[in-house]
Amino acid sequence: MRIHSVLLTLIALQAILPVSSALAIDSIEPQRAGPSTPPPRTAVDIEPQPLSMPPLYVQSLAATCANCHGTEGRAVNGATVPGLAGRSADELVAQMKAFRSGERKATIMHQIAKGFSDTQTQLLADYFAAQKR
């Protein structure tokens, strides 16, 4: 059992308690490497979402990446597609932006990346940064 996901779930469970929902997203922060200042969010969100998303929702969102990048972002052995777990959130956000802009060429990821808003991308990046490699 991995400590990070245990914590996330415990915190998710507290979501029914009158805990300020703003804490939910912050709760991912301590495991995150890199600068503590989040990158500026642009105004190109397709579907703006509240930043106070309970961890269970984030886990559910991140599960849409698992088909190709592995459960909780951990790639299978010998994978040709990289894992996402334990990578810097800033790097993941930058890569997603590069896919979207076309700066980074791809066979498929440029098409998938365009399906996620800047807010969702930030939530995903923070989630994967907090996962054990």
Q: By CB under 8 A, is residue 98 in contact with other proteins?
A: no
Asked whether 129 and 95 are in contact (CB, 8 A), the reply is: no
Residue 72: CB minimum distance to other proteins, A:
8
CB under 8 A, 24+ apart: contacts of 45-48: 45/117, 45/118, 45/119, 46/115, 46/116, 46/117, 47/117, 48/117, 48/119
Q: How many other C-beta atoms can be found within 10 angstroms of the C-beta atom of residue 46?
A: 12
Among 54, 92, 93, 131, binds other proteins (CB under 8 A): 54
Determine if 88 is a binding residue for other proteins (CB under 8 A): no
Q: Which residue in the set 33, 108, 132, 133 belongs to the binding site for other proteins (CB under 8 A)? A: 108
Minimum distance, C-beta of residue 132 to other proteins, in the bound complex (Å):
14
DSSP type of residue 30: G
| Residue 107 binding other proteins, by CB under 8 A | yes
* Secondary structure (H, E, C), 45-95: CCCCCCCCCCHHHHHHHHHHHHHHHCHHHCCCCCCCCCCCCCCCHHHHHHH
Of 68, 86, 88, 91, the residue at the interface with other proteins (CB under 8 A) is 68
Q: Does 71 bind other proteins (CB under 8 A)?
A: yes
- Residue 42 binds other proteins (CB under 8 A): no
Query: Interface residues with other proteins (CB under 8 A)?
Result: 1, 3, 5-7, 9-17, 19, 23, 26-30, 46-47, 49, 54, 56-57, 59-61, 63-71, 75-76, 79-81, 107-108, 111-116, 120
